[in-house]
Structure 1
Amino acid sequence: MIQYYLWGFALRFVQCLLEAAPFILAGLFIAAIFQRFFGSVETRRLFGEGTRSSLFRAWVIGMLLPVCSLGVIPVARELKKAGLAGGTIIAFAMSAPLFNPLSLLYGLTLSEPVTILTFALFSLVIVTLVGTIWDRLFPEKTEQPADDQAIPYGIKRVLSVGYSAAKEASGASLVYILIGLSGVALLGAFLPQASLQRSVNYDNSYAPLLMTGVAIPVYATPMLAMSQLGSMFQHANSVGAAFILLVLGAGVNLGLVAWIVRNYNWKKTMVWFALLLLVIVGLAYGVEKPLFPTNIEPADHTHAFDIYCQPFSPDTTSFYQKAKQKLGHVIDPYEIYSAGILGGVILIGFLLRLVDRRGRIEDWLKKVEPVKSGKYDIVLPGPVLGILILVGLIVASGVGCFSYYPSPDVVCEEMTIAKTEALSGALSGNVSHSKYWIDIYDDWTRKLEVGVYLRNLNLSEYHHWKAQLLREKLELLAHEIEDEEHEEIRRLVADIQHTHRRMVDAYLRDMN
């Protein structure tokens, strides 16, 4: 029986680590950019420290940077070193993981745009209200640290970013990240399989409170949180629970809470957490009815939260093979590559700590050496270069949207492959194969909508419902496969073929 819990913990831990790797890498290098290019003084100026706009600036900057609630930890540590107030740091730390260009676009097609935009606005309300009260209750006499000796321009300035990222990756941030991953892994070990499928139904008045208990230890990437929101709206689950999932599931994890406790003590953390829960739960119940999707027939369950439960059934015997199969179904290649790079950065950090205990590399980086400058050389100040890098990162996120959400003709080709695999698996009785490809098929229909919206800045109701109808039939097929209703499976396969053809014709005819 102990294997059952250990494998459940291990699978969820590894799965979340792989999904988080790209965002953790981004957070490490963003923290290094703040340290090396901005320095303490310019970082405080960027965030408007000491002004009324500091919380709003923290929210805006956080919303633009591509980090998650684990990747934000090294950035928060750097902001603390720079002397920012606690309210500003926590406002940034909570808003940064909620949205980025990819997840925001994805979310706009998963539910009514007004819902996602309302959630985004409420996140500003939360960080502003909680941050303001925090700063009033616990006014800090924050030290205004002077900047360290600047790194000379040139190759040393570039190397210093990698050096700082590696040192941070092997330091305290790693401990907090592991704590954050352990929280969701413990849920995966001890929450029974499929135990959350009916906990957030629309008619359950306790759904927001139940989601609060689950979401606190949960770790979710912005994209995962958005996809779960979409599933909740598709099934007409509790809107309040969806809001709490976004704010707490994507915005907070146990590692971030541990960092706050370590830096601001238990008393302040408890006050902050009480304020946070009071505001979030209040808003959740406030939006429950106004934002409820009235044009959707409520379902009696959802699979959106199976990822937080025990991944194995009690009678599982071949844990390794099952775990390998499950990881192969949910992990993308870029996440594996990112995890490899992250592992390399951590290893380099440990080696640096081992061989350079006296800080000789840091001294070498700061050493000013004569540099021959050409007639047309332009030396950019560190903060200017830092701004350009951060803006470039934001622009790259926007450009990346066009790659992540391809044009309709490309998506339709990929959907055809997914359709063939899903439907052939359904007809042959290969349940796991079919359900795996049904999920991919479903995801491509959403990417189709986002890709069209991204390129045309508009998506008609007609085209939305074409894709929505196909998704509803795919969900029915998944249920019939589980129930082994062979006659119904054959009927649905033919129906899906027809619906798919009409949807593709509509998109390719009208969008080209």
Structure 2
Amino acid sequence: MDAIFWGGIQRFVAALTEASPTILVGLVIAAIFRRLLGPEGTRRLFGHGTRWALARAWVLGMLLPVCSLGVIPIVRELRRDGLSAGTILAFALTAPLFNPLSVLYGLSLSEPVVIFSFALASLAVVTALGVAFDRFFPDNEQPEPGPPPVSYGPKRMVALLVAVAREVAGPTSGFILVGLLGVVLLNVALPQGSLMNRMEQDNPYAALEMTAAAIPAYATPMAAMAQLGSMFQHANSVAAAFVLLTFGAGANLGLLAWVARAYGPRRSAAWLGGLLVVVVGLAYAMDGPLTPKGVEPAGHTHAFDIYCCPFPPGGGSFAQVAKELGEEVMSHERKALGVLAGFGVLGLALGRLDRRWRVEDWLERAPEPSEAGPDRPGRRYDVVIPGPVLGGIGLLGLIAFSVLACYTYYPPAEQIFDDLTIIKAEVLSAANSGNREHADYFIPLYQDWIRRLQVSVYLREGTLSPYRRMKARVLIDKIERLKHAVEEDDPEEVHRHFIAVTDAHRRLRASFVDAP
């Protein structure tokens, strides 16, 4: 029981911190829709009432950097703005699957034809289900009156902050909590390492088993793409890979709970049933054509360990959880979680203040005539930008930021090799000394930076040659074998794989940096 209890705490906190940045982005986008674009501007952006509404939802979903938890405040706002259920659900499924960072990651680690096939398949899924939902359940829009406009100036920025705080302190946090409980349930249901060999090509039920695990799971788009790349490198089931991407990254229990509450149990069950049939059917249809040729199945993979209990039976403690989280959680995730907590406190404080005075009354108060006219003395160059224009600029800024973030997250190859050299030394030192705990920390880091190397080159050169892919795949495989040798405490095997990793690392550098 200790393993399950402490494992549940670790999985919950890790998922919350990992999701915090994209939840924060989702809250900001929802606030922009509410306070700057307004219901009319949002409907116009999504092409409400036109034949292009579903396609626009798909495109916008691919551009905005959110996850399946971060999309919850956005779909709540789209519902208030009166968009059709088909459009909202299309956006809800697409936005967590693809964004500039994750698509770039996927293109580098998997074959481009796979990523494009999965993207087109997702378009087919959201289009078919969106059209069907709106046809069988018409008149599903429930628009609510938008808030009164806020006058120009700092008040509009304050209104955005207040909207975010209200959303954090409202039902959105409850749905996010339900979504995070899914990882706790998986921790209870799946013992450590129980998925290591369940997603092989020769398992005809791999896609169905992945469906059962992926629906309650939570995965960021980046994590899902990394697992996707690992599955293709290990020649796992392509059908299971598509299911993992669609349900693991695209949905969670919190999002499904919101759908059920917004549209009722009967409609939601019909939509979910259709989603399961279409996704699993497409997964099996793509399994044969997209299965990589010439790749020998590894027989096992650690890619899905994050969905299982992290501790063996009888293991787990507060100290272990604190240590694991201290190593896993990144600095920007801690900061994002702190900002979310701050907005939550602000939202609760505003709720208590509402009994005596609502801040919105001040924000929405019309300016004095002397302050509102365009010919105000001394304000000739103080141009008033309409709210929808400012909202559009904000959305474009988020998209541009996610693109620019690629260059920060994936530095140049020379810089990556500086870090790889240090990490390699730590891995080999830990393996040579038999320090399994040290090796368990640095080996995943080593493999992750090798993947970043591939993405970095693809980002800057627009292509990644099969030769370079092969060298990266070989090194990752050698590192994996070294990890197993350390786990088995076999000094001879450790020494053999020690040499193999050293040689493979040298060849990798030669192919990426030293090659003319």
The counterpart of 2:437, out of the listed 429, 432, 445, is 432
For the residues of structure 1 that align with 2:195 and 2:411, how far apart are their CA atoms? 33
Aligned match of 1:182: 181
Counterpart CA distance in 2 for 1:264 and 1:375 is 50
| 2:461 aligned to which of 453, 456, 459 | 456
Partners of 1:303 and 1:142 lie apart in 2 by: 44
TM-aligned CA deviation for residue 218 of structure 1: 0.7
Letter in 1 for 2:346: I
What's the counterpart of residue 489 of structure 2?
Answer: 484
User: C-alpha deviations, 1:241-277, integer Å up to 9, x for none?
Assistant: 0000000011111101111111101000010001101
Asked if structure 1 preserves the Cα contact closer than 8 Å seen for 2:19 and 2:67, the reply is: yes
Query: In structure 2, what is the equivalent of residue 165 of structure 1?
Result: 164
Structure 2 equivalent of residue 352 of structure 1 = 350
Q: Give the CA deviation at 1:411.
A: 0.2
User: Segments of 4+ in structure 1 off by > 6 A?
Assistant: none
The superposition leaves residues 174-227 of structure 1 with CA deviations (integer Å, 9 ceiling, x where unpaired) of 000000000111111331111111111110001001111111111111011111
Query: Alpha-carbon deviations, 1:303-359, whole Å to 9, x = none?
Result: 11111111111122x511111222233221111111111111111111111122355
Does 2:497 correspond to 1:505?
no
Matches within 5 A, 1:91-490: 91-140=90-139, 142-316=141-315, 319-357=317-355, 360-370=358-368, 371=371, 372=376, 374-490=379-495
Amino acid at match of 2:397: G
For residue 27 of structure 1, what is the aligned residue in structure 2? 26
C-alpha distance in 2, partners of 1:460/1:254? Answer: 40
Change (3 A) 1:357 1:73: farther
The 8 Å contact of residues 227 and 303 in structure 2, kept in 1 or not, is answered as yes
Of 477-486 and 490-499, deviating more is: 490-499
Tell me the distance in 1 between the aligned counterparts of 2:432 and 2:305.
25
Partners of 2:228 and 2:511 in 1: how far apart?
Answer: 27
Q: Answer whether contact 1:41 1:146 (CA < 8 A) is retained.
A: no
Q: CA deviation at 1:144?
A: 4.8
- Report the number of matched residues: 509
**In 2: Cα distance, 1:297 partner to 1:358 partner:** 69
Provide the C-alpha distance between the structure 1 equivalents of 2:147 and 2:110, rounded to a whole number of angstroms.
Answer: 48
- Which moved further from structure 2: 353-362 or 259-268? 353-362
SS in 1 for 2:290: coil
Matched residue type, 1:366: E
CA–CA distance in structure 1, aligned partners of residues 311 and 143 of structure 2: 52
Q: For the residues of structure 1 that align with 2:284 and 2:483, how far apart are their CA atoms?
A: 32
Distance 1:191 1:148 in 2: 46
Aligned to 2:36: 37
* Alpha-carbon distance in 2 for matches of 1:131, 1:193: 38
Q: Is the 8 A contact 1:7 1:189 kept in 2?
A: no
Q: Which deviates the most, 297-306 or 363-372?
A: 363-372
Q: How far did 1:510 drift?
A: 3.6
Q: Work out the percentage of aligned pairs sharing the same amino acid.
A: 50
Structure 2 counterpart of 1:18, which letter? Answer: T
* Per-residue deviation, 1:473: 0.7
Relative distance call for 1:146 and 1:353 in structure 2 (3 A) is closer
Q: Does the Cα contact within 8 Å between 2:85 and 2:140 map onto a contact in 1?
A: no
Task: Report if the CA contact (8 A) 1:5-1:190 is conserved.
Answer: no
1:118 shift after superposition: 0.7
In structure 2, stretches of 5+ residues that fail to align are: none
Q: CA deviation at 1:461?
A: 1.7
- Matching residue's letter, 1:481: V
CA distance in 2, matches of 1:147, 1:344: 26
The answer to whether structure 1 residue 84 and structure 2 residue 89 are counterparts is no
The question of whether the paired residues in 1 share the 8 Å contact of 2:109 and 2:455 is answered with no
TM-score, normalised to structure 2, is 0.96
Quote the residue 1:8 is aligned against. Answer: 7
Per-residue CA shift, 1:112-136, capped at 9, x if unaligned? Answer: 1100111111111100000100000
Partner Cα distance (1:158, 1:94) in 2: 29
